[in-house]
């Protein structure tokens, strides 16, 4: 079985074809970073318009790359949510319509399920159950995963997501959008220990996250002292350390609470090298294992959508004829593939 996946929930157009025997056959990605950079963040209307321009050409390119035609495709999967409504409408309209025109089933994919399953595109895949730390621009969550579609949210952000905190702090440091990876680069030059920021919500029980106070602490320090380049790097280092420590503390708690020793880390911030080192150390201490997607599949892409779509297709969980964009859609409302 072969699935064409379409991702347009935010600022990347991602198209891929995944085959359940041969694996990933093609993967096309167009990033809108340059379009939004001038504004310091994603402009939803510009995002939608650009998805309109890119989606169909990238579908054509993906078919060519996979050396196949529409007749070789068994279903079209697209991100139905959560995300920017206008951006989602492009992928859902195109995906649902192509499926209708080609006489194939359509599959609605939850964007965060796509991220969560992305490590399964690799060789060494995690067995169920596992704990997933999802850290993207829009979400920070700890999820117990008992099977595909069997998700218990153990904790989530009550305000800013980790990626959002990275991006906002980066902006205050004068770094261009998207700031997360740029802040991480700057942090490499930082002197550890010069600044210390809070590890929010770690001194009380629970698995929820809050990064807005940490962002404010960093903002105040940047305003008061962040005039020279070395100080900026030192602040970036302390900020990254505080985010990583907080995530590690909460992961350890989730593992201890559930008795599970497999951890999956996915979403844009899982590309962060410093965080990966810290989580690796945690899992070595716990005698457990940590799984990531390859770096290019940490951030948004079509491969994870094609893969998640294939799992839903196998379970006969296909879409009706209506075009549905679900900007708000909770992960724990999904159906089990065994339902
Ligand atoms: O998963 P993603 O591509 O989009 C959403 O679904 O939100 O995540 C994007 C987020 C952005 O906030 C970006 O700054 C952050 O991931 N990010 C990073 C790194 N690479 C991407 N944050 C910290 N360090 C990185 N290396
Ligand atoms: Zn994402």
Residue 194 CA to ligand 1 centre (angstroms): 26
Ligand approaching nearest to the C-alpha of 188: 1
Cα separation values, 189 from 92, 231, 281, Å: 43, 10, 22
Per DSSP (E only), the strands in 236-309 are 262-266, 289-291
Q: What spacing in Å lies between the alpha carbon of 1 and ligand 1's midpoint?
A: 31
What pLDDT score was predicted for residue 42? Answer: 95
Cβ of 137 closer than 6 Å to ligand 1, yes or no, is yes
The pair of three-digit structure tokens given for residue 64, joined into one six-digit string? 């060519």
pLDDT value at residue 204: 87
Query: Are the CB atoms for 97 and 313 separated by under 8 Å?
Result: no
Do residues 41 and 10 touch, judged by C-beta distance below 8 A? no
Is 36 within 8 Å of 4 (Cβ atoms)?
no
What is the whole-number distance in angstroms between the Cα of residue 114 and the centre of ligand 2? 8
Give how far Cα 261 sits from Cα of 117, 124, 141, 154, 252, Å: 17, 15, 17, 15, 9
CA-CA-CA-CA dihedral for 58, 64, 68, 73, to nearest 10: 0
Q: For residue 283, how far is its CA from the centre of ligand 1 (angstroms)?
A: 22
User: What is the per-residue pLDDT for 80?
Assistant: 99
* Cα distance between residue 293 and residue 306, in whole Å: 15
Ligand nearest to the CA of 137: 1
**Binding site membership of 240 for ligand 1 (Cβ less than 6 Å):** no
Whether 81 lines ligand 1, by a CB cut-off of 6 Å, is: no
**How many CB atoms within 10 Å of residue 242?**
22
pLDDT of residue 339: 86
Q: How many CB atoms neighbour CB 323 within 10 A?
A: 19
- The secondary structure of 8-72 as a DSSP string is -SSSEEEEEEEETTTEEEEEEEEE-HHHHHTTTS--HHHHHHHHHHHHHHHHHHHHHHTT--GGG
**Is the CB–ligand 1 distance for residue 82 below 6 Å?**
no
CA distances from 132 to 115, 142, 276 (A): 10, 6, 14
pLDDT at 226: 86
Tokens of 42: 């994603």
Q: Is 138 in the pocket of ligand 1 (CB under 6 A)?
A: yes
State whether the beta carbon of 247 lies less than 6 angstroms from ligand 1: no
At residue 307, the pLDDT reads: 98
- Give one DSSP letter per residue of 270-286, joined into a string: GG-HHHHHHHHHHHHHT
Q: What are the tens digits of pLDDT across the range 1-12?
A: 999 999 999 999
**Ligand 1 atom, smallest distance to 266 CA:** 1
Distance from the alpha carbon of residue 135 to the mean position of ligand 2, in angstroms: 9
CA of 137 to the centre of ligand 1 (A): 5
Find the 301 Cα to ligand 2 centroid distance in Å.
8
In tens, the pLDDT along 17-64 reads 999 999 999 999 999 999 999 999 999 999 999 999 999 999 999 999
Is the CB of residue 307 below 6 angstroms from any atom belonging to ligand 1?
no
Question: Which ligand lies nearest to the CA atom of residue 135 in the structure?
Answer: 1
pLDDT of the residue at 275: 98
Q: Is the CB of 166 under 6 A from ligand 1?
A: yes
My answer on whether omega of the bond before 66 falls inside 30° of 0, hence cis, is no
Q: Round to whole Å and give the CA distance between 247 and 269.
A: 11
Q: Which residues of the chain have pLDDT under 70?
A: none
Task: Report whether residue 300 contacts ligand 1, using a CB cutoff of 6 Å.
Answer: yes
Residue 209 DSSP symbol: B
Q: Which two tokens stand for residue 57?
A: 């050409």
180 lines ligand 1 (CB under 6 A): yes
Q: Which of 87, 165, 180, 183 to mutate to test the pocket of ligand 1 (most atoms within 8 A of CB)?
A: 180
Confidence at residue 293, expressed as pLDDT on a 0 to 100 scale = 97
Query: What would the DSSP string read from start to end of 212-239?
Result: HHHHHHHHHHHHHHTTSHHHHHHHHHHH
Q: Decide: 149 in ligand 1 pocket, CB within 6 A.
A: no
Which pTM value belongs to this model? 0.97
Q: What per-residue confidence (pLDDT) applies to 103? A: 98
């Amino acid at each position: 079985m072969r699935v064409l996946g379409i991702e347009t929930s935010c600022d990347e157009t991602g198209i891929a074809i995944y085959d359940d025997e041969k694996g990933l056959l093609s993967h096309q990605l167009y990033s809108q970073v340059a379009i939004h950079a001038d504004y310091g963040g994603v402009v939803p209307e510009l995002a939608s318009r650009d998805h309109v321009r890119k989606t169909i050409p990238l579908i054509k390119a993906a078919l060519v790359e996979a050396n196949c035609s529409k007749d070789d495709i068994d279903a079209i999967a697209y991100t139905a949510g959560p995300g920017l409504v206008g951006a989602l409408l492009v992928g859902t309209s195109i995906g649902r319509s192509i499926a209708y025109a080609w006489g194939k089933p359509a599959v609605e994919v939850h964007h965060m399920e796509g991220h969560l399953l992305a490590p399964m595109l690799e060789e060494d895949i995690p067995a169920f159950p596992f704990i997933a730390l999802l850290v993207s621009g829009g979400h920070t969550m700890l999820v117990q995963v008992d099977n595909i579609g069997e998700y218990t949210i153990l904790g989530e952000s009550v305000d800013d997501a980790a990626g959002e905190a990275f991006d906002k702090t980066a902006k205050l440091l004068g770094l261009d959008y998207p700031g997360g990876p740029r802040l991480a680069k700057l942090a490499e030059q930082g002197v550890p220990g010069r600044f210390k920021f809070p590890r929010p919500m770690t001194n009380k029980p629970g698995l929820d996250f809050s990064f807005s106070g940490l962002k404010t602490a960093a903002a105040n320090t940047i305003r008061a002292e962040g005039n020279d380049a070395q100080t900026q790097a030192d602040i970036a280092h302390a900020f990254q350390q505080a985010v990583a420590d907080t995530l590690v503390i909460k992961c350890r708690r989730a593992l201890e609470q559930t008795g599970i020793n497999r951890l999956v880390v996915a979403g844009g911030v899982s590309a962060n090298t410093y965080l990966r080192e810290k989580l690796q150390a945690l899992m070595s201490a716990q005698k457990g294992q940590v799984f990531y997607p390859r770096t290019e599949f940490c951030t948004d892409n079509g491969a994870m959508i094609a893969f998640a779509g294939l799992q839903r297709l196998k379970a006969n969980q296909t879409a009706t004829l209506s075009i549905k964009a679900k900007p708000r859609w909770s992960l724990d409302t999904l159906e089990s593939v065994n339902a």
